[in-house]
Every structure is written in C-alpha cells, then in structure tokens.
Amino acid sequence: MSTPLRLGIAGLGTVGVGVVRILRRQAELLSARTGRDLQLVAVSARDKDRDRGVPLSGYAWESDPVALARRDDIDVFVELMGGHDGPAKEATEAALATGKDVVTANKALLAHHGQALAEMAEAAGRTIRFEAAVAGGIPIIKSLSEGLAGNEITRVMGVMNGTCNYILTQMEATEQPYEVLFEECAKLGYLEADPELDVGGIDAGHKLALLSAIAFGTRVDFGSVKLEGIQRITLEDIQQARDMGFRIKLLGVAQRTPRGLEQRMQPCLVPAQSPLGQLEGGTNMVVIEGDAVEQIVLRGPGAGEGPTASAVMGDICDLARGLRIATFGQPAAGLDPVPPASAALPAPYYLRMRLVDKPGALAKIATALGSAGISINRMRQYGHAEPTAPVLIVTHKTTREALDAALAAMHETDVMAGHPVALRIENV
Amino acid sequence: MSTPLRLGIAGLGTVGVGVVRILRRQAELLSARTGRDLQLVAVSARDKDRDRGVPLSGYAWESDPVALARRDDIDVFVELMGGHDGPAKEATEAALATGKDVVTANKALLAHHGQALAEMAEAAGRTIRFEAAVAGGIPIIKSLSEGLAGNEITRVMGVMNGTCNYILTQMEATEQPYEVLFEECAKLGYLEADPELDVGGIDAGHKLALLSAIAFGTRVDFGSVKLEGIQRITLEDIQQARDMGFRIKLLGVAQRTPRGLEQRMQPCLVPAQSPLGQLEGGTNMVVIEGDAVEQIVLRGPGAGEGPTASAVMGDICDLARGLRIATFGQPAAGLDPVPPASAALPAPYYLRMRLVDKPGALAKIATALGSAGISINRMRQYGHAEPTAPVLIVTHKTTREALDAALAAMHETDVMAGHPVALRIENV
C-alpha cells in the first residue's frame, strides 16, 4: 500500500456531503481499487454549525476555502462550492499555485476561465479533473477524452439540463403549460438560485463548451455558444411536435465545420423514436459521434447527491491511481482558438405563429418564405376562437440566415400577431 | 515529445486492419493527444500476400505471432487474432514474459485464462487492456473500472451480442421465423465460424464474465455463467411478448448476492419502453447500477471495423499516456473467488407450451404450478387448427427451482406435447 492520498473538500452542500459519505462508507473498497487510502484531511464551508447529517469532527475545519486550498497536508483540492468567480476561482488558483491537483464540479468556473486555469495547472505540473461538471453521474469526460481518444470526433450532442427536460416531458405528460411546471420545479428545489441558468440554457451551455474543447481540441469558448432557452415553448408546440413524430428537447450540439466551430444550446425537434427523443424526466444523455466509433450514447442521472458524488469520486480515484492527463485532454497551449462558425449548418425548421385573421394573410407569409428561398414542407392553419389564427409551418432544409430574412420580411407585413416561434429540426 | 510508443499487431483481420488505418490516418491527432508518436513497428498474420487494402510494406513482418510478441523493439503487443487457446494465448504469454503491455480484443482468451494472465502481467509489472473485448466501441471497461470506481456496483446488465439482437428484432419487424433470419445472418457474415458462439450465448457470456470480474472484484468465472441461447425463441414468443408490453432480448445479468455471484446470459422479457427494450438491430447496450450513481446506460455499435478499432486505440492511447491500472481494476491476487449463486433471484416467468387437446389438460398444468407454490398471473389457451393446443402462462414471482419442479411435474402428466419454453421476465 502506497502513501495515502490526502483530500481537502471546499463546499459541503449536497455534493460535498455525498462525497464525504462515500469516503466514509466505501473506504475499504476504494483502497482495494486504488491501492491507497483516500484520506479526508480538511473541509471548508460557510456555516460550521449546520448539521449536515454526516460527522465532520474528525476533519480539520477551515472557514476560508483559500486557506484550505493552501494547506500543505493535502494533495488534492476538491472544489464543490460553485460560482464562476469569487472564492471558487481564488481557491482553485491557490490550490494550483501551491502544487495540488484540483477536482471540481464547477462548470461555470471552467466555462469562463478554463483556458487560464488549465495553463496554470500545467505550469505547476498539476491537472484539473471535472467529470462531475458535465452530465452528473455519466462518465462522459472520461469516455470522450480517454475511451474515444482514437477518434476524430465529428459531433457531440446532448440533453444536459435535467430540469429543462423534466419541464418539457412533463408538459407533454400532464398537458400543463410551461409556467405551471416552472413553478412546480421551483417548489421541488430543481431550479438554480437564478432560474435563468437552467431554463435559459446557460448551465447546459457551460457543459457543452467544456465537451467541445475536449472533443475538438479547441479552447473553451462559452462566449460563442448560441444560447436559447425553453421559456417560449408552449403546450401547443409540444403537441404539434408529437403529432409529427418529434419531441422538443433543449439540445446542445457542437461540431467543427469548415466554417468554424458550431456550438448551440437551443430547443430543437428530434425524432420521437431516437434515443434523445425517448429521454424522459430529469435524465441526461450525451451522444458522441466519431470517425471510427460511429455513434455512442451515454445516459444517466444528471444531478443529485449520489450521481454527482460518484463522478467526483471517479476523478479522485484516478488521481489516487496516478492516472492523469491534461485538463482538456491535451496541453492547453496546443488547444486551437477556432473561430465560431458564422452560422449553423442548414436544417429544416418548425415555425409557429399567429396571424391576423384576414384574407391573404397566409399568402403573405408564404411569399416571405419563398422570397428568402425557403420551400415549405407542410403548412396548417387551425380552427380558432380567438381573433388571430394559429399557423404551423415546417420548412424544407434552409439556413438560419435565410430563415431570419424571412422572419424579418414577415415582420414587415401587417398580418403578424406577436413573434413567431422558430425551432430547428435536428437530425440526430 | 517523449519517446514513441512502439506497437506490434498480431492479426490483420477486420479489426487489425482498422487499427492500422487509424494509426496511419490520425497520426497527428494521436500525437497531440498522447504526447507521443504511436509507431507501428511490426505485424503478423497468416497470409503475407493477401491484399488487405492498406499498405503494410513499411512494417516488419513476422509469420509467427510469438516471435512478434518477443521482439525487443516493441512496447505493446496488440493481440487481434482471437481464439482462447493456441497462438493467441502463447503470444500473449510471450509478450508478458518479455515485458510488454498487451492490448487485446479477445474475450474468449480472457474469459478462460483471465486470472492466470492477469497474475502473469502483474508479476512482470505490465497490464492487459481489453476494451475491445466487450461491447465493441462502447467504452464500458473504462467507465466501469475507472469512471465508476467510487461505486459499489450492484448490478450489471447488457445486450452484448449484436447478431442475436439483430435476429430477435428482425423477427418482430419482418414476421419471419428464427431459421430464416439465422440463414440471413450467415449470408451477411454476421455469424462466428461456429455460430453456437453467437446464438448459444457463449460470446456474450464471455463478455459478461469479464464485466463481472471488474464490477464485483471477483475472479473471472466464465464456467459459472448460466448460458441459454436464442434458438428456441419462436415468432409466437416475440409476438406474445410484444402484446404484453415486453420485448425478448438475449440479456446478460450479473449481480453479487448474499448467496454468491449470479451470472446469467439468457433470453429474457424486458419492458418494451425501457432502454434495453427499445434497442434495435445490431447495437449493444450495457446498464450499470451502483450505490451512488444509480443507473448508467451506455449504447453503441457492438462490432465492426471502426468501432472495435476505436476501442483498441483507446487502450493504446491510455498506455501511451501512461494511464495504467491492474488488468481487472485491482491486483489479481486480491480478486475474490466468490462461489456462484446456487440460483437466480426470484422473478416472474413467461411459459409457452403445447398441450394435447383433451379435457382437463389445462387443469393438470395449473395443478403442477400450484403444487410447486407458483401462482399464475395470466393464462391463455389459443384457438388452433393443430391437434395440440398452444398455451401461454405468465407466473407471479417465483424461484427457478420452484419453476423447474413444476416443469418436471408437467412432464410427468400425459398432456404435454414437446418441451415448454420458459423465459424470465427481468426487471430492468
């Protein structure tokens, strides 16, 4: 048995407590697997007196996470505080500066500062592991950076925010509108303190930016992720999609194209019979496509104490076993600063709008599409009680630029009531 | 850049050629990721003159794989010949004895000799990597042994023979009997030279035995895997299962129970709406359940040049990066020789049989079940033209022992025509 691996954990919320529980419960199993004792030395959190349901008196307490990160009796700093600036960033930097490896679940921190932190880690001969930052318990970082290392990755896709998927699938199952399910999630504690992080696609966008960097050997570029939330999805959209054999998912897609790196996190229609289309509730799913492996699908719980702690523990066990690769799978200096793609690859689109109910209204809309070079696959106007008429259009494959031109032209007519909803139909 | 990692490949069939292609095509990418050149030094195969569609003149040729394994100018011996004895075993032993790491796709070799080979590797300070041996392109070995290392694994399940899943799903889709689809697979080259390896569940059983060892820290014990093939599944079974909301899959299940290690590879009914139930065609799926992670599902191509070569390359890249763990995730000497469970955990069963068409026949069958303590969930006798009557029974949860007692009692009656089919209904 080698020397123990000494750990310091900053942040004792759900995930932190989950990690402490595993370290206590599975000490023997973890030693057998890693060949070392995993020894929790010190912890840090805001409130020392709170009962967290797990005994903490055997560990040194630091009220300041930066002080914890600097302790010379730990080998690994486990950052489970969250937040992309402030203490999480300072403590991570302090840990690297004083020669510790870092394990973190903090997607925001790495989405914003990943390149700088990876460079800092390498300069110190250390690494940052972040399996828990993406898709909870699914070992996606490891699968992508190690298991599929022999592939040129061609596309990464995923449903990576369980709350959004819960809302969308519950809208269909219960026939309740978005607002009702949003409130339900708020009550159940499924939403981040700032709900925009969830329903606005930001949290999932952070995760996509991290996967992109590993998949394509590029610098993390969260700023270029095209973000669109689920707030405007109506029950009608869900039902129309279903009737056409699709489901609506908050879907992340990243691919390297000749025109640059395409990264989008937006509600899309996907075939109901595809693995992504079949995904229910708060579960996450990531799809990886590579030149050799074709397509791999990974599915699992995207959040929660156990699954997220499992991912943190996977990283800790790797470090205990001496398995270490560069933060984003290759040296940070070699990561490519690929410019963002100016536009997404062409796709069919789903459009829903309301028109003022007067003769020729539909013709004006069809003309706007035709003038932009967009042909219509199907078009329906529904019976209605309201003074405006609901209209549904599915286009043939088109570019987003052409679509935006058509939408602008529609806006110039006198027949639009409100803004249309336009959703990409993704070939998954 | 460190020194190159020097490779010798024995076996230039589909997978071997696939690996050579990736090494040639992605040399730059592989160097960027691993920090080393991956240098193919020598190859070995039966027929030197065969055109394999890839240039081989730049590599040393060895007609004897053992001689290749012993070369002192290679670091890693890549065994892609297959077969659980003979040259594959000799060459693997020669490679370990002369200090090389081994990468192999050979499930039969490890299922039969895994413990001895793992011990030999450790004595030499080397390791054997075998990602390609289980579930093709799915990084399941890595996910289980590294990504989920913080979990006590509670159950491993999977559909791990693509040919069987293709036959079963095509029976449903095309309404053709087993025999027709078996012939189709033979023509398409989907079957092993000895088809019993596929349709008898042996190949999938090898894979399950390897996953068990990693999941539960036990010695590989293929001899205790309860094997049952798909040869007796009829179109009627498929259709009856579908009508009840199930699908029939050749399903592997491994779990550590208080009564010992349970390992079975057998056709089972699984809920049609579960990820396993939805799996179509030649795709593989592995489900892992752990105390922390809950449930993870991995899905991908189980065979083929690209996907299998992708798995081999993942192992090679790990070795190039210096990522190495013990063959089965922990030292071979510490692997537990857990005895096999005397019987599987209780489950409901599906029974199909034909009865001689005379008064009281059904009553005799019902009595046989009742006497064995098995209660009936549903029972149907079908209209029929033949002189024997088709009968379908779904039991409540029961043990396999009780069921076997009931089947023996049925056999003693004078109403059975032929042997009944009994399939476990698995809670997945």
Condensed to tens digits (0 to 9), the pLDDT of residues B42-61 reads 999 999 999 999 999 999 99
* Confidence category of residue B1, pLDDT binned at 50, 70, 90: low
Would you say A107 is a known binding-site residue? yes
| Topology of domain A5-133, CATH | Rossmann fold (3.40.50)
What is the residue type of A303? A
Work out the burial of residue B261: count CB atoms within 10 Å of its CB; fewer than 13 is exposed, 13-18 middle, 19 or more buried. Answer: buried
**In sequence order, what are the beta bridge partners of A129?**
A103
User: Is the CB of B146 less than 8 angstroms away from the CB of A296?
Assistant: no
Q: How far is A25 from chain B (nearest CA, A)?
A: 10
Tokens representing B212 are 């068990």
* Confidence category of residue A213, pLDDT binned at 50, 70, 90: very high
User: Residue B32: which of A147, A217, A325 has the nearest Cβ?
Assistant: A217
DSSP β-ladder status, B38-44 and A294-301: unpaired
Closest residue in B to A141 (Cα–Cα): B147
Instruction: State how far the alpha carbon of A311 is from the alpha carbons of A306, B365, B422, in Å.
Output: 9, 51, 40
Per-residue model confidence as pLDDT tens digits over B232-288: 999 999 999 999 999 999 999 999 998 899 999 999 999 999 999 999 999 999 999
Structure confidence at residue B304 (pLDDT): 94
| Topology of domain B349-425, CATH | Alpha-Beta Plaits (3.30.70)
Q: Which of B50, B86, B51, B49 has the alpha carbon at shortest distance from B65?
A: B86
Q: In the β-sheet with B76-79, what is the strand arrangement from edge to edge?
A: B60-62, B38-44, B5-10, B76-79, B101-104, B128-129
Per-residue model confidence as pLDDT tens digits over B145-186: 999 999 999 999 999 999 999 999 999 999 999 999 999 999
In whole angstroms, give the CA distance from residue A114 to residue A327: 9
Residue B118 has φ and ψ, to the nearest 5°, of -65, -40
Residue with tokens 């409100």: A418
CATH classification for the domain delimited by A149-300, as one of 2.60.120.860, 3.10.20.30, 3.30.420.40, 3.30.360.10:
3.30.360.10
- A296 has pLDDT over 80: yes
Instruction: State how far the alpha carbon of B79 is from the alpha carbons of A37, B70, B130, B184, in Å.
Output: 35, 13, 10, 30
For residues B218 and B192, is the Cβ–Cβ distance under 8 A? no
- When mean pLDDT is compared across A37-41, A62-66, A294-298, A337-341, the lowest value belongs to A337-341
In whole angstroms, give the CA distance from residue A325 to residue B322: 9
> Within a 13 Å sphere around the CA of A88, how many CA atoms are in the beta-carbon half?
21
> Cβ of A118: how many Cβ atoms within 10 Å?
25
Q: Which residues belong to CATH 3.30.70.260 in chain B? A: 349-425
In this prediction, residues B77-86 reach a mean pLDDT of 95
For residues A380 and A301, is the Cβ–Cβ distance under 8 A? no
Q: Indicate the angle between helix axes A107-123 and A87-97, nearest 10 degrees.
A: 20
Query: Mind spelling out the 3-state secondary structure of A62-96?
Result: ECCHHHHHHCCCCCEEEECCCCCCCHHHHHHHHHH
User: Is the CB of B293 less than 8 angstroms away from the CB of A307?
Assistant: yes
User: Residue A307: which of B33, B292, B306 has the nearest Cβ?
Assistant: B292
Handedness of CA A350, A355, A358, A361 (dihedral sign): negative
Q: Which of A122, A118, A82 has the alpha carbon at shortest distance from A99?
A: A122
What string of DSSP letters covers B164-210? Answer: HHHHHHHHHHH---HHHHHHHHHHHT-S-SSTHHHHTSHHHHHHHHH
For residues B406 and B393, is the Cβ–Cβ distance under 8 A? no
* Confidence category of residue B385, pLDDT binned at 50, 70, 90: confident
For residues B52 and B18, is the Cβ–Cβ distance under 8 A? no
In whole angstroms, give the CA distance from residue B270 to residue B288: 16
* Confidence category of residue A1, pLDDT binned at 50, 70, 90: low
Radius of gyration of chain B from its Cα atoms, rounded to whole angstroms: 24
Q: Which residues belong to CATH 3.40.50.720 in chain B? A: 5-133
Tokens representing A271 are 């075939």
Residue A35 has φ and ψ, to the nearest 5°, of 75, 10
User: Is the CB of A299 less than 8 angstroms away from the CB of B298?
Assistant: yes
- B392 has pLDDT over 70: yes
What string of DSSP letters covers B254-314? Answer: EEEETTEEEEEEEEEEEETTSTTTT--TTEEEEEEEETTTEEEEEEEE-SSHHHHHHHHHH
> Cβ of A57: how many Cβ atoms within 10 Å?
5
Structure confidence at residue A335 (pLDDT): 96
- B369 has pLDDT over 80: yes
What is the residue type of B129? R
* Confidence category of residue B107, pLDDT binned at 50, 70, 90: very high
* Confidence category of residue B122, pLDDT binned at 50, 70, 90: very high
Distance of CA B209 to the CA centre of its chain: 8
User: Is the CB of A148 less than 8 angstroms away from the CB of B138?
Assistant: no
Under DSSP, the state recorded for A202 is H
In this prediction, residues A241-261 reach a mean pLDDT of 94
In this prediction, residues B305-319 reach a mean pLDDT of 98
Tokens representing A262 are 């395409």
Structure confidence at residue A161 (pLDDT): 97
Structure confidence at residue A119 (pLDDT): 98
In whole angstroms, give the CA distance from residue A201 to residue A158: 12
What is the residue type of A302? G
B423: part of which helix (H) or strand (E)?
Answer: strand B416-425
What is the residue type of A339? P
- B384 has pLDDT over 80: no
Contacts across the A-B interface (CB distance below 8 Å): 187
In whole angstroms, give the CA distance from residue A106 to residue A92: 11
For residues A211 and A144, is the Cβ–Cβ distance under 8 A? yes
Q: How far is B289 from chain A (nearest CA, A)?
A: 10
Length of chain A: 428
User: Residue B139: which of A143, A311, A316 has the nearest Cβ?
Assistant: A143
Q: How far is A328 from chain B (nearest CA, A)?
A: 10
Instruction: State how far the alpha carbon of A214 is from the alpha carbons of A123, A145, A148, A218, A312, in Å.
Output: 19, 6, 11, 7, 18
Would you say B192 is a known binding-site residue? yes
Q: Which of A156, A160, A133 has the alpha carbon at shortest distance from A144?
A: A156
For residues A349 and A403, is the Cβ–Cβ distance under 8 A? yes
Of A89, A100, A207, A249, which is the active-site residue? A207
Residue B142: active-site member: no
In this prediction, residues A143-169 reach a mean pLDDT of 97
Contacts of B286 in chain A (CB under 8 A): none
In whole angstroms, give the CA distance from residue B165 to residue B159: 7
Structure confidence at residue A343 (pLDDT): 83
Radius of gyration of chain A from its Cα atoms, rounded to whole angstroms: 24
Q: Which residues belong to CATH 3.30.360.10 in chain B? A: 140-301
> Cβ of A379: how many Cβ atoms within 10 Å?
15
For residues A238 and A270, is the Cβ–Cβ distance under 8 A? no
In whole angstroms, give the CA distance from residue B301 to residue B138: 7
Q: How far is A95 from chain B (nearest CA, A)?
A: 23
Q: Which residues belong to CATH 3.30.360.10 in chain A? A: 149-300
| Topology of domain B140-301, CATH | Dihydrodipicolinate Reductase; domain 2 (3.30.360)
In this prediction, residues B62-77 reach a mean pLDDT of 98
The average confidence (pLDDT) of chain B is 96
User: Is the CB of B299 less than 8 angstroms away from the CB of A323?
Assistant: no
In whole angstroms, give the CA distance from residue B336 to residue B218: 4
Residue A383 has φ and ψ, to the nearest 5°, of -60, 145
Q: Which of B45, B50, B46, B26 has the alpha carbon at shortest distance from B37?
A: B26
Per-residue model confidence as pLDDT tens digits over A157-197: 999 999 999 999 999 999 999 999 999 999 998 998 899 99
What string of DSSP letters covers A325-353? Answer: --TTSS-GGG-B-PPBPSSPPPB-EEEEE
**In sequence order, what are the beta bridge partners of B254?**
B156, B263
In whole angstroms, give the CA distance from residue B176 to residue B22: 39
Structure confidence at residue B411 (pLDDT): 94
Q: Please tell me which of A170-179, B190-199, B358-367 the model is most confident about, judged by mean pLDDT.
A: A170-179
Structure confidence at residue A386 (pLDDT): 80
